Amino acid sequence: MNFKISKELQIGLLVIITIAVTFFGVNYLKGINIFNPTNFYYLKLERINGLVETNDVTIRGYKIGLVKKIIYDYENPSSDVLVVLQVDDDLRIPVGSKAALVSSLIGAPSIELHLDTFNTEIYKKGDTIPSYIDEGIMNSITEEVMPRLQTIIPQLDSLIVSLHAIAENKTIESSLANINTITKNLNHASVGINRIVDKDVPLLCNNINGVMGNLNAVSANLKSVDFKNTFSQLNKTLLGVQGVTDKLNNGTGTLGLLLTKRDFYDNMNTTVGSANELLVDLKAHPKRYINVSVFGKKNE
């Protein structure tokens, strides 16, 4: 007996399978594991800071559930927002634990559970867990960064205006052209310096080496000089000169008498004057002092 499935049954099965796959796929994309039994807890928050369904519920960064539903009471706008948490069935939340709404600059907001590990009593399924909003880095940005930005923005505005004025200034082009010219000149100067370093510096170093060699030779010659004997002879000479100077100062000797004795100087001056007069008279009247007769005749 052949069992034949009608087309209607086939279409019905296909629709059921499609719905099931869609259901499981959507829940999987949301992070919901429908095969894992879960517990539900509630939170009441004054504001949710962008929290949406399927956001993570974590304990010390480890994901243990997700935000199942967010309920806003339109009839009572001043009331808190009700948040439904779906967590793993194995999790036991001690009484006294708290849930924090944590905001992030990059990622989405999340619910962070802080368990009271010292309490043995646990919350029952469907209980409301005390909660608070952890401002964290967002509060720091609001209280510290934003006031500074408010003071910096006007300065940035004036800076942008100044930069715009500088950019429109035509002298900038000429300045850039001058800088380009200076750069080219520096390149040429660099080439010249490289040439000097390659050619002249080695020659200069050779000359310096020669001078150093001569200095070494002079130093060697100086080492061979008997400075002790030389200075001894020089000391003797200076002592002799000192003795002569002392004699002159003391009036000893002819030069000393001449320098220190006025009468000696005057006598010598008189003697020199008399000798000079004698020479003059001798030159003028030589016959007075020289009597020469060629034939033996005596001149008067």
CA 293 vs. chain centroid, Å, equals 117
DSSP the chain: ------HHHHHHHHHHHHHHHHHHHHHHHTT--TTS-EEEEEEEES--TT--TT-EEEETTEEEEEEEEEE--SS-TTSPEEEEEEEETT---BTT-EEEEE--SSS--EEEEE--TT---BPPTTPBPPEEEE-HHHHHIIIIIHHHHHHHHHHHHHHHHHHHHHHH-THHHHHHHHHHHHHHHHHHHHHHHHHHHHHHHHHHHHHHHHHHHHHHHHHHHHHHS-HHHHHHHHHHHHHHHHHHHHHHHHT-HHHHHHHH-HHHHHHHHHHHHHHHHHHHHHHH-GGGT----SSSPPP-
The pLDDT of residue 42: 95
Threshold 0.95, pTM exceeds: no
Q: How confident is the model at residue 146 (pLDDT cuts 50, 70, 90)?
A: low
Distance CA 41, CA 129 (A): 7
Q: How confident is the model at residue 70 (pLDDT cuts 50, 70, 90)?
A: very high
Sheet of 38-45: strands edge to edge? 38-45, 81-88, 62-71, 56-59, 110-114, 98-102, 131-134
pLDDT in tens, 206-219: 778 777 877 887 77
pLDDT in tens, 224-241: 766 677 778 888 888 877
Domain residue ranges of the chain, discontinuous segments joined by +: 37-134, 227-287
Most confident among 8-22, 94-108, 126-140, 249-263 (mean pLDDT): 94-108
Which of these ranges, 79-93, 141-155, 194-208, has the smallest mean pLDDT?
Answer: 141-155
Most confident among 1-15, 223-237, 251-265 (mean pLDDT): 223-237
